[in-house]
């Protein structure tokens, strides 16, 4: 077993694609150190630059009304519920203005699958926000939402996406992916896009020239092989379109109808993220999920396949509704990157650097905040300073 795992890890670390069966073999490996070293070798090969990135954006849930029923979701409401809402334009303007004031360049805007709002409502919303905030990227509407627009408006999917893009849609978040295996989706959710539908939204968007992120929420009812099936479907689509900029995974936060489900902990999170880095050889970036794991595990994730600390996330509602609340300030995010030995740099959703500071050597960055010692990252061949 150990020799087999070593062979697969060596293959992935050297840039060779691992097979589905080899991915399943890795899911049975619980040698966290070994998986982490291999994943870090891949990350270091793909990202030899002296910096690690972060983004400043805000999760805005324009409505909590949703026609879908997901066992893991504590956020959604039905139209008739007393606390159901659709945000007013004034509330949205205020949230975006606050984000810009904090240096943000993006709004991650998702809602539920509202049963009565028509496509024209979303087009008008995008046009209005685009005209008022031309510098802000609208990273909006998960694939299940867009599939819902397509169904309730009785319009071809491509027409829906063309109209949203023309109205100002900048990119699509990978929300609602959970596990892209229909057995899992049918058991966990009702009235929500199935696997091929989720992927088709991304496929058509990419063909229109759009970019998007992709995700995986694990640690519930899926099997180890189904986790690899999920990664394999993403890898296949990326081969076809090249439209995914980044992958983000996180553990399910027990709550709502799944309150008694055992939580997958940080060990499992780091293990699965490392395997994801090894399997997804064609997706360039992986984000740490400090929002669900906390600051220190989020920082350690930079050595388990992640090259990005994700977003400052000025506002987050869905994970918080499930009872998990981790907040970091911008300085804490930057400090996490510095302490790990890299220079923190701000990027946009396309992973273009948007801060004004040019890259500097890690040693210089670390020296600004404290004394350093050298730690040899054998997989990358680099010696990185760590703040004491």
Q: Of 119, 181, 173, nearest to 144 (Cα)?
A: 173
What pLDDT does 317 receive? 61
**Adjacent-strand bridge partners of 212:** 172, 244
Q: Of 166, 159, 84, nearest to 124 (Cα)?
A: 166
Residues with Cβ within 8 Å of 123's Cβ and at least 6 positions away in sequence, in order, are 163, 164, 167
Would you place residue 291 in the very low, low, confident or very high pLDDT band (cuts 50, 70, 90)? confident
Tell me if 29 is assigned to a ligand binding site: no
What pLDDT does 190 receive? 87
What pLDDT does 169 receive? 98
DSSP symbol at 62? S
* pLDDT higher than threshold 50 for residue 43: yes
Tell me if 75 is assigned to a ligand binding site: no
Segment (H or E) for 69: strand 69-70
Residue 16 neighbours by CB distance under 10 Å: 12
* pLDDT higher than threshold 70 for residue 300: yes
> How many angstroms separate the Cα of 365 from the Cα of each of 22, 260, 351, 357, 368?
39, 45, 21, 12, 5
For 71-109, write each residue's pLDDT tens digit.
877 777 888 888 899 999 999 999 999 999 988 999 999
Spatial distance between the Cα atoms of 388 and 385, rounded to a whole number of angstroms: 9
Spatial distance between the Cα atoms of 58 and 56, rounded to a whole number of angstroms: 7
* pLDDT higher than threshold 90 for residue 6: yes
Would you place residue 293 in the very low, low, confident or very high pLDDT band (cuts 50, 70, 90)? confident
Q: Can you read off the two tokens belonging to residue 209?
A: 């020239």
* pLDDT higher than threshold 50 for residue 202: yes
What pLDDT does 371 receive? 30
Report the pLDDT averaged over residues 222-244: 97
Tell me if 289 is assigned to a ligand binding site: yes
Spatial distance between the Cα atoms of 220 and 249, rounded to a whole number of angstroms: 13
118/379: higher pLDDT: 118
What pLDDT does 360 receive? 56
Q: What is the mean pLDDT of the chain?
A: 87
Residue 168 sits at φ, ψ, to 5 deg, of: 130, 0
Would you place residue 372 in the very low, low, confident or very high pLDDT band (cuts 50, 70, 90)? very low
* pLDDT higher than threshold 50 for residue 296: yes
In the CATH hierarchy, which fold is given to the domain comprising 26-346? TIM Barrel (3.20.20)
Tell me if 73 is assigned to a ligand binding site: yes
For 374-388, write each residue's pLDDT tens digit.
333 333 333 332 222
Tell me if 171 is assigned to a ligand binding site: no
Segment (H or E) for 285: strand 285-287
Tell me if 70 is assigned to a ligand binding site: yes
Domain-wise residue ranges, the chain:
26-346
What pLDDT does 71 receive? 80
């Amino acid at each position: 077993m150990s020799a087999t795992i070593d062979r697969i890890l060596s293959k992935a670390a050297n840039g060779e694609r691992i097979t589905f069966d080899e991915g399943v073999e890795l899911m049975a490996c619980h040698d966290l150190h070994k998986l982490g070293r291999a994943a870090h070798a891949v990350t270091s090969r793909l990202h030899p630059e002296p910096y690690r990135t972060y983004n400043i954006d805000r999760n805005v849930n324009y409505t909590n009304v949703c026609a879908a029923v997901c066992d893991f979701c504590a956020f959604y409401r039905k139209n008739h519920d007393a606390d159901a809402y659709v945000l007013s334009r004034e509330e949205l303007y205020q949230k975006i203005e606050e984000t810009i004031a904090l240096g943000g360049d993006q709004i991650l805007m998702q809602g539920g699958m509202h049963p009565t709002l028509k496509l024209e409502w979303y087009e008008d919303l995008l046009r209005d926000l685009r005209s008022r905030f031309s510098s802000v990227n609208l990273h909006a509407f998960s694939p299940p939402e867009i599939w819902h627009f397509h169904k309730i408006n009785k319009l071809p999917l491509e027409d829906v996406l063309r109209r949203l893009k023309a109205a100002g849609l900048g990119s699509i978040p990978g929300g609602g992916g959970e596990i892209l295996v229909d057995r899992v989706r049918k058991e966990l959710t009702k009235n929500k896009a199935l696997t091929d539908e989720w992927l088709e939204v991304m496929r058509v968007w990419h063909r229109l020239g759009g970019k998007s992120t992709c995700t995986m929420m694990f640690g519930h009812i899926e099997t180890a092989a189904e986790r690899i099936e999920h990664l394999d479907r993403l890898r296949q689509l990326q081969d076809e379109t090249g439209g995914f900029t980044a992958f983000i995974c996180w553990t399910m936060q027990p709550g709502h109808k799944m309150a008694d489900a055992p939580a997958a902990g940080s060990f499992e999170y780091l293990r699965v993220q490392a395997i994801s880095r090894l399997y997804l050889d064609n997706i360039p970036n992986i984000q740490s999920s400090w929002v669900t794991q906390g600051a220190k595990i989020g920082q350690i994730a930079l050595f388990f396949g992640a090259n990005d600390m994700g977003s400052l996330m000025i506002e987050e509602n869905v994970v918080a509704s499930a009872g998990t609340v981790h907040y970091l300030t911008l300085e804490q995010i930057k400090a996490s990157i510095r302490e790990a030995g890299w220079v923190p740099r701000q990027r946009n959703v396309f992973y273009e650097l948007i801060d004004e500071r040019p890259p500097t050597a890690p040693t210089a960055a670390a020296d600004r905040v404290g004394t350093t010692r050298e730690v040899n990252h054998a997989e990358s061949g680099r010696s990185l300073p760590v703040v004491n």
